[in-house]
């Protein structure tokens, strides 16, 4: 298909997607640790989690 061929030719799209997924995963992990009161976050950064 067109999308598969585009991704094979332009690997930067894959790297951006993987970076986005990694950032989201880290946010979810940190947010979970805050909810379980295992980790504390400075008030300035709470808006990100």
Q: Across residues 24-44, what is the average pLDDT?
A: 91
**34 occurs within a structural domain:** yes
Instruction: Decide which of 48 and 36 is more confident.
Output: 36
**5 occurs within a structural domain:** no
CA end-to-end span of the chain:
37
**4 occurs within a structural domain:** no
**17 occurs within a structural domain:** yes
Confirm if 31 and 38 have CB atoms less than 8 A apart: no
**38 occurs within a structural domain:** yes
Q: What is the pLDDT of residue 32?
A: 92
**3 occurs within a structural domain:** no
How many Cβ atoms sit within 10 Å of the Cβ of residue 31?
15
The C-alpha atoms of residue 5 and residue 12 are separated, in whole angstroms, by 13
State which residues form the domain around 25: 10-48
Q: What is the pLDDT of residue 47?
A: 83
Q: Is the pLDDT of residue 49 over 80?
A: no
Q: Return the percentage of the chain with pLDDT > 70, whole number.
A: 100
Give the number of domains in the chain: 1
Q: Across residues 34-41, what is the average pLDDT?
A: 90
């Amino acid at each position: 298909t067109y999308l598969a061929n585009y991704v094979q030719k332009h690997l930067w799209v894959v790297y951006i997607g993987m970076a986005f997924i990694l950032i989201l995963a880290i946010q979810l992990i940190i947010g979970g640790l805050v909810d379980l009161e295992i980790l504390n976050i400075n008030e300035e950064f709470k808006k990100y989690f």
